[in-house]
Structure 1
Amino acid sequence: MLSPYYDIHFAVTGDVLEEIVVKQGYNAIRTSSFRVALGMEERYLWEKKMKHSKWEVLKCIRANELYHYRQNELAEIVDRIKPDIIFIDIFNSTDILVLQSRYKNISLIFLNPMLSTYKIPGFPTVDQGKWTPDKLPDEETKRRIPFKYFLTRPFDVLIRKVMDMQFQELTSIDGFLDKHPLAKDRTSAMLFDNIPEIILAPLELEMSPKVSKPNQHYLGLCISDNRKDTELDTSFDIRFEEIIERREKGRRLIYCTFGTFYQGSDRALLDFLNKLLDAIEGLENVEVIFSVNKLVIETISYQRKIPSNIHMFNRVPQLRVLKYADLFVTHGGLGSIKESIYYGVPMLVYPLDLHYDVSGLPTTYLLVAELC
């Protein structure tokens, strides 16, 4: 959307992300994963090979060492590329505290890869595995320090108090908190009022249009159908041609994957896959593509004989497969939901983790069924 008009740079924290960005034709800039006001001082000291006792952590917080480190790191990037706009991922939201006072002429916008993360009365939040609307603790209750900690963990309480002081200090720079109060209805991310937020999803996927806030802007499905995937299974291309030939002769194609979250032979994932294989083995005239990690493939192959119509790959180009799929079996990640809608593929949604696999929420699954 923006690439024809802007030179786009991504700040990334690892080799895999850098490879993905470069392969799409964008510029990748490596940064650390440290963020301010989130209690990362101990890890910061440890990774910098400095003393990291509780006393050293306390001094680090009080001196705002991590804030100055992050400020210098981002300033080197911003001063070099001179951007017109900086998009800040909502899970890196405290970078706005580092940037806002120094770069007043640059637009700072939150970027949300999920659905809205705010608490709206009468609706479940995006991170609720089980909706208990009358039992949601307020922010003050969640931050209240149990009295026993003052006796059993006094140094931890002191660090907590100093972190609160640090946050007040950082948010008071140039009166930031007066213009952008900390959002009282936030959930998964530390967000501030009156900051523009771009959501990479359609408003129709929310529980209700009432969920949308004035500062939020929904961009729709946001699918790049010319995306170039990385780390693909080397055997995919040849075998996929054979699978498509069989589909053109009348066989149906089922595609099953559980995204990038499950990297090991997770027990819940293995249990579900075995049940799914039990069901699929009784079907005639189907080809099935599984995209799962190597440990899962090795475990499943050890546990049972894999029929010739079931094809297991470590990683496949998902958009390419969805173009031909007749059914998509997924854990319900928002990216997969959007891509399935884009290609009009019916879904069987099976959330494995109710704290991570609920970005679509139950009513979204019903909506998707109607759309497809």
Structure 2
Amino acid sequence: MSTDTLAEPRTRGLQERLWEAVTGRDEQAAARLVLDAVDEGTDPEAVLLDVIAPVQARVGTEWAANRLSVAQEHAASAIAERVIAALALHPRARARATPRLGRVTVACVDQEWHALPARLLAEVLTLRGWQVDFLGAQVPTPHLIGHLHSFGADAVALSSSIPTRLPTAHAAITACQAVGVPVLVGGAAFGPDGRYARLLGADAWAPDARAAAARLADGIPVPVPAAGRQQIDDLPHLGDQEYTLVVRGRPGLVREVMSQLEDRFPAAASYTEQQREHTAQDIAHIVEYLSVALYTDDDDLFTGFMGWTAAILEARRVPAASLTPVLDVLGTELKDFPRTTRLLAGARSALEAGGPLLRSTG
């Protein structure tokens, strides 16, 4: 077997054993499994990307299907992070980690708490010979720019998993470019094809850590700073102010939907206090995704989120039909906003179409 890749049966076996360890909250077993694999000749990068990363993706899938609780998902993720830290200290990993290339700053955008994808990239880049500054989760843009001023970088790699962070990512991209540092972005927030990376003016996008490392190795041209560049320069549709007004009105919109929900969806009358709290949180997320769809002017972003939400609710035995009155109330409250009306109508039609949308987003 090559030391650079894992044979498929062995990969599946390691994945299953690691899955059992992280879902069984057995950190020692998880660490022992990973370190033994490296001792036996498996390349550390292959362990990171072919074993740990797929298991973590499975954790998210199982949570969405309501087969793992939030606490179980958090525990599994915490174990994965500590296992990665242990792997980074393995002699074979340290031997590969002598910096011989440039310097890269890896960070999650502000308010992005899903740090594991960025951590995986940081470790892969370190193994490949980059000097890496890993800043971790939710890095405020001023702090990121302060770091660049203090230590410099040949490139910044920004990670975001949640599309609602795209406006913040946009601000971070333009700020880094303004100080002459190119930005590579990655993570689910930017779309499976990188469409939002292009929309927000990132210098490069990569779908995964291997592709990101290859793109950095090829070199990303240093951007020419554009004096006074604003987000509206990239997204002229923001000039209609719909995004700003919906963001500012979000608390009131959530209250209005909650006040009308029982009349439009009678089952809500029997909700417990906890169920009402969760419902308010769900509505807030819907308005948040509506806002970012207005920011990007992308109907698919909002429609896809509503389909995913419907699938999540169904997995938790909450009828997806409860989403329709939410869209109806929002449509009434925001009837004077043309783009918003279009987004809400499209999502409502997709939900009414039913099966195919829910299956594709489950």
| Fold shared, TM-score > 0.5 on shorter chain | no
Provide the TM-score with structure 2 as the length reference.
Answer: 0.26
More helix by share: 2
Query: Higher strand fraction: Structure 1 or Structure 2?
Result: 1
Q: Which of the two has higher C-alpha Rg?
A: 1
**TM-score, length of structure 1 as denominator length:** 0.25
